[in-house]
Structure 1
């Protein structure tokens, strides 16, 4: 299952914890085509039916089925640049078998 770094947790909470955001809002990661490695990241009020929910220290990530499969052995990290832009990074979990 996808895990979150402390940085990712803080960034996600800052994105979804803005004033007026509904309780339980999170970041949703989706992948339209399993053969295409492109992932879409959006903020959303709640998971969609079938989404896997990853929750860590108050940060919520909703994974669409294809994305959940693609990210099963990954760690999500995040960084904020000096202009306030957010960049998400994926790294393999220690001991994870390489993806073929």
Structure 2
């Protein structure tokens, strides 16, 4: 299952806190296909088939395809001084 670093969890919580209608929600990752990659959006709740990953109170909702593709990955983030966030995927240590 996808895991999150502490930095990614903080980034997710920061992003979600800026969307009042999703205050108890999370970031949803949808597999948009090989050419597009993954789409991230703030969602107030997971879709019925989503896999939910929770780390330090941060929630990530994965659609079925993303959950399968990211099963052995780690979500990390880099937060800039201007408040922008850059997410990256790494491989989980064995």
- TM-score normalized by the length of structure 2: 0.89
Q: Which residue pairs with 2:20 in the alignment?
A: 20
What is the count of residue pairs matched by the alignment?
94
Q: Which has more strand, going by share of residues?
A: 2
Q: Which runs of 4+ in 1 moved over 3 A?
A: none
Q: Which residue pairs with 1:49 in the alignment?
A: 48
- TM-score normalized by the length of structure 1: 0.84
CA RMSD of aligned residues (A): 1.7
Q: Which residue pairs with 1:71 in the alignment?
A: 70
Deviates more, 1:2-11 or 1:18-27: 18-27
- Runs of 5+ unmatched residues, structure 1: 96-100
Between structure 1 and structure 2, the one with the greater Rg is 1
Q: Which has more helix, going by share of residues?
A: 2
- Runs of 5+ unmatched residues, structure 2: none
